[in-house]
Amino acid sequence: MSKPKGSVGVALAVAVLIIIAVTSVGYYQFVVCKPTSCATSTSTSAATTLSGCKPPSCVTIQIVAGAALLTNTAYSPDVVTLVVGVNNTFEFHNNDSQSGGVFHSATADTCPKVCPFDTGIIAFNTTMGPFTITVPGTYAYFCSVHPTTMVGKVVVVAGSGGGPAPASSSSSTSTTSNGGATPANGLAISILKGASSDQSSRGYAPDNATVVVGVNNTVTWTNNDALGHIVTFTTVPNGAKVSSSDLIGPNGTFTQTFSVPGTYHYYDTLYSWMKGTIVVKSA
């Protein structure tokens, strides 16, 4: 009994559609990681599409536009320091709008045997988390969709936070330069690419951050935009002495060490829609 010609036609049409789809996908291969396969004793997590992250106790790690072609800048910040009991909860948000939106993930290197966090696939403009890690250590992770090009680290340190302000020094130090690395025990803040031209941009990543005196209280802003920026403090705690930056050129940095607990608000003198907050806690 011969197969109906109509069925042959349908099969050919399906084959053509598959070829077109594969050609269109190109570089962006899809490798799905299943969070349910990851057992963990170091964190708690719940993957959602709605953000439950409330700064400063929770940190949002951004997946930047064009992340698939980047390495240590695909996540912002790519190395984040969290303090147990202060801000050791975090989430991931996919901002990669390239080609209409690209799928990504954030999967700990040790998954699936020991898996402190695994977002699974994150669609464009979607948030996965929050995750909470309670065991100090360095947790390297990667994107399961682009494992050779997208990597990052979550550094968790011990600390109680929330104690009284120290009675010692109220001084701080700051530097502005055209290059340089973030201190190993510091916090990195990215001045986002395109922030100077996009008034809807948050401007900084993270734009709300918490640091602990003696743990990670040195903050470095890195200018990833094409134009210069100036970090200017508007309100600081009583007794605190901080200096605003000079003009930070493209790829330049500004570093400030905070020693007085409290809330510090700042903005960009040149682009007033760019605003940020740093909460400093005593150890």
> Domain check: are 231 and 184 in the same one?
yes
> Domain check: are 196 and 266 in the same one?
yes
> Domain check: are 74 and 132 in the same one?
yes
Range of the domain at 231: 174-281
> Domain check: are 40 and 148 in the same one?
yes
Q: What is the pLDDT of residue 166?
A: 33
> Domain check: are 124 and 191 in the same one?
no
Domain of 128, CATH number, reads: 2.60.40.420
Residue 80 lies in a domain: yes
Tens-place pLDDT, residues 118-145? 999 999 999 998 999 988 888 999 999 9
Give the number of domains in the chain: 2
> Domain check: are 133 and 217 in the same one?
no
Last residue of a domain, one of 128, 157, 186: 157
Residue 10 lies in a domain: no
Last residue of a domain, one of 96, 129, 157: 157
pLDDT higher than threshold 70 for residue 66: yes
Residue 169 lies in a domain: no
CA-CA distance, 61 to 73, in Å (whole number)?
A: 11
Tens-place pLDDT, residues 85-105? 878 889 999 989 888 889 999
Using a pLDDT cut of 90, give the percent of the chain over it: 33
Residue 17's pLDDT band (cuts 50, 70, 90): low
Last residue of a domain, one of 94, 128, 157: 157
Model-wide pTM > 0.75: no
Q: Length of the chain in residues, anyone?
A: 283
